[in-house]
Amino acid sequence: MVNRRIRQNTGLAIGGIIGTGCVLLLALNIGERFLVPGPVITGHQDVRCDFCHQQATGTFRQQIQANAQFLLGQRPRAADFGRKDVTSTACLSCHDGPNDRHPIYRFFEPRFKKARQQIQPTRCISCHLEHTGKRVTKTEIGYCKSCHKDTALKKDPISIPHKSLIADKRWETCLGCHDYHGNHLMKTALDLQKALPPERISEYFEGGPSPYSEKKGYLASEEPRRLSILEQPPSVPAR
């Protein structure tokens, strides 16, 4: 019979080889697909993982040391380990269109405190959570009520005035005429009967074709652009 110690050492060696192989596989680019928790957002099929998941600052030892100091109360916050935490800044490195009607930095103003509590508009992933296979993950399309309850127009051009729609709480009609980011090149409907039905908007959120327009004012960058310090919004973790 094979000596017991030899069997143990053989098992440890085999386990070590398999474990090392798995670590190396997952550490290389070819192993990225095994780490993805779910399908990417519509349009991100060709986006490389390292566009968003960048190497954290410092060496492996420094990252461990920094987090140990945090646990001991010698550091105000934990350090990123392995990869940097993905924040809205990473999203804006590609999606920083100057025509954005609702740029996230605006919602850091004190007057939007309630909106921040309700829908967290300062974080891109509040609506566009990656690895879900959807375009928009906030399924409730009436979120405009968080900011526009007092909206009133002196010369309202639409068939049913905004004031009446707000009074009747018909918030599902907002996205039927208005593109949230304002990047789709289209003519806004003035007759509410010609507005997009909520069902088509929901299909768009799920990853379907755009009901607004296929033409856009600004296209996302194919390579992430590193924002300067002056351009970066306050860092807000994506998860």
Q: Which of 65-74, 159-168, 191-200, 215-224 has the lowest mean pLDDT?
A: 215-224
197 and 180 in a single domain? The answer is: yes
Q: Which of 35-39, 42-46, 49-53, 137-141 has the lowest mean pLDDT?
A: 35-39
Distance CA 81, CA 85 (A): 9
Radius of gyration (C-alpha) of the chain in whole angstroms: 24
**Mean pLDDT, residues 4-15:** 71
160 and 53 in a single domain? The answer is: yes
What average pLDDT does the structure give for the chain? 83
Distance CA 77, CA 155 (A): 51
Q: Could you give the 3-state DSSP secondary structure of residue 55? A: strand
58 and 3 in a single domain? The answer is: no
Dihedral pair phi/psi, residue 151, rounded to 5°: -65, 130
Contact 63, 75 (CB under 8 A): no
Residue 88 lies in a domain: yes
The pLDDT of residue 226 is: 57
Q: Give pTM, 2 decimals.
A: 0.73
The pLDDT of residue 57 is: 86
Name the most confidently modeled range: 58-67, 108-117, 133-142. Answer: 108-117
183 and 98 in a single domain? The answer is: yes
**Mean pLDDT, residues 133-160:** 89
Residue 171 lies in a domain: yes
Quickly count: other Cβ atoms within 10 Å of residue 173's Cβ: 21
Quickly count: other Cβ atoms within 10 Å of residue 107's Cβ: 20
29 and 57 in a single domain? The answer is: no
Contact 104, 88 (CB under 8 A): yes
Contact 221, 90 (CB under 8 A): no
Query: Which is higher by pLDDT, 94 or 230?
Result: 94
Contact 66, 79 (CB under 8 A): yes
Continuous segment of H or E residues that includes residue 13 = helix 4-27
43 and 23 in a single domain? The answer is: no
Distance CA 52, CA 238 (A): 11
185 and 97 in a single domain? The answer is: yes
Q: How far is CA 30 from CA 25, 26, 35, 36, 193, in A?
A: 7, 7, 10, 12, 51
Q: Which of 164, 165, 161, 183 is closest to 173 using CA atoms?
A: 165
The pLDDT of residue 164 is: 93
Residue 104 binned pLDDT confidence (cut-offs 50, 70, 90): very high
Q: Render pLDDT for 66-98 as a digit per residue (tens, 0 to 9).
A: 889 999 999 898 888 888 888 898 899 888 888
The pLDDT of residue 214 is: 86
Domain ranges, residue 4: 1-35
CA 232 to chain centre: 16
Residue 106 binned pLDDT confidence (cut-offs 50, 70, 90): very high
The pLDDT of residue 22 is: 58
Residue 222 binned pLDDT confidence (cut-offs 50, 70, 90): confident
Helix, strand, coil percentages, rounded to 5, for the chain: 40, 5, 55
Query: Which is higher by pLDDT, 225 or 131?
Result: 131
43 and 30 in a single domain? The answer is: no
Q: How many domains in the chain? A: 2
Residue 129 lies in a domain: yes
